[in-house]
Amino acid sequence: MNLRILYVAYPLLAISDESCGGAEQVLITLEREMSNRGHRTVVAAADGSRVTGELYATGKAAGALAGNGSMVQAPRGDEFARRETEHNSAILRLLGEEHFDLVHDMSGSFWRCAAQVEMPVLATLHLPPVLYSDGIFDSPSLNLYLNCVSRSQARAFAHPPQMMGVVENGIDLARFAAPESDVFDRGNREFFLWMGRVCEEKAPHIAIDVAADAVLPIVLAGQVYPFSYHEQYFEREIEPRLRRYASARFICTPSFQEKLELLDRARALLVTSQIDETSSLVAMEAMARGTPVIAFRRGALPEIVEHGVTGFVVDTPREMAEAVNDVSRIDPAACRSRVVGRYSSTRMADDYLRLYDRVLGSSGVFRQSVA
């Protein structure tokens, strides 16, 4: 039986294949998989979003920042509360008018409206427990179900009611197909790469410091979300380092093709997060292209990066700089193999279908066996 599923996106920014945030990328990838399998998918997201199924536009997105290191004016992300209310109100109107078998919330906030709708709401939790308010999961609506995206994240939660378990994130292997064999040649690798949301908890300033310590060039590629504290972090920590270290450069919001080219030319991806990451899509993407990952021992990163095989897991910036000298012994084929075996979007979709079956099973809405 084909399902009609409403996917709920983060409200502030339009989503597409080129979205920077991990939760947005997971939603885009999963929705594509489900649509291609014949399920009827609708995505509630900001105006201008690009999805595989049907878009239900909920309002104007905040503007993104642009420019290679220069800041430009944009609508204020600090108006998030207003945009969140607009987003959630639009979704509740839709759910009052149309039938869906399931609401799958990846917005981080709509799940708190679950008591106002009749159908089951599955909320995928993308953040570590410390970033949620105390007691927020203590009295969930009876139609609300939760899941985590890694074993370390699940262990960190104090077993909130209606936790359904873990579905690890995955990436579309076809989009991150193994590059030509000559790209696996380490002689083509020119610089170290940091990629992601430019914010204090992701700590790209540490990546610049590590590259400077190792006397090697580095590229930062990502997006500064339009929040004042993100902009202030960029101005305080990143801009001065870009001016000071001539071998560091910043690429704002690279296209998907630019992203592939950067991964193929990088000696290694540096993951410098200062919080317990619940997953790391960028690490999966790098390994899929045969690029080793050097990551701090935070949260799920040791689950994703196999130390000594697909990269290195370290504890300090000094250890990260020292590991830079060892990346040449990492086999690109081993990096690719780990992602193929564990982090494909096909496996992720299979796992979510099983989870949907469990959520909907009590009412007999959905029964599907997955090989």
Residues 6+ apart with CB under 8 A from 257: none
Give the whole-angstrom CA distance, residue 295 versus residue 196. Answer: 13
Domains, the chain: 4-65+76-170+344-361 (3.40.50.2000), 181-342 (3.40.50.2000)
Torsion of CA 276, 281, 287, 291, to 10 degrees: -80
Rounded to two decimals, the pTM is 0.90
pLDDT of residue 186: 58
Give the pLDDT score at 72: 35
Q: Apex CA 338: angle with CA 203 and CA 256, to 5°?
A: 55
The type of residue at 246 is A
How do the pLDDT tens digits run along the chain, 371 residues long? 799 999 999 998 899 988 888 999 999 999 999 999 999 999 999 999 999 999 999 999 875 443 333 333 344 555 788 899 999 999 999 999 999 999 999 999 999 999 999 999 999 999 999 888 888 888 889 999 999 999 999 999 877 778 999 999 999 999 999 776 555 665 567 899 999 999 999 999 999 999 999 999 999 999 998 888 999 999 999 999 999 999 999 999 999 999 999 999 999 999 999 999 999 999 999 999 999 999 999 999 999 999 999 999 999 999 999 998 899 999 999 999 999 999 999 999 999 999 999 999 854 444 333 32
Query: Would you state the structure tokens that stand for residue 64, as one six-digit string?
Result: 């993104």
pLDDT of 52 reads: 97
Angle at CA of residue 26, ends 223 and 44, nearest 5°: 90
Report helix, strand or coil for 121: strand
Do residues 16 and 4 make contact, with C-beta atoms less than 8 angstroms apart? no
**What is the rounded CA–CA span in Å between residue 314 and residue 321?**
10
Residues contacting residue 51 through CB under 8 Å, at least 6 positions apart: 15, 16, 28, 31, 41, 43, 45
Q: State residue 97's pLDDT score.
A: 96
* Per-residue exposure over 121-159, b if at least 16 CB sit within 10 Å of its own CB, e if not: bbbbbbebbeeeeeeebeebbebbbbbbbbebbbebeee
| Tokens encoding 298 | 């935070």
Give the per-residue pLDDT at 183.
52
Edge-to-edge strands, sheet with 102-105: 54-57, 40-45, 4-8, 102-105, 121-124, 144-148, 163-166
Place of tokens 């642009």: 66
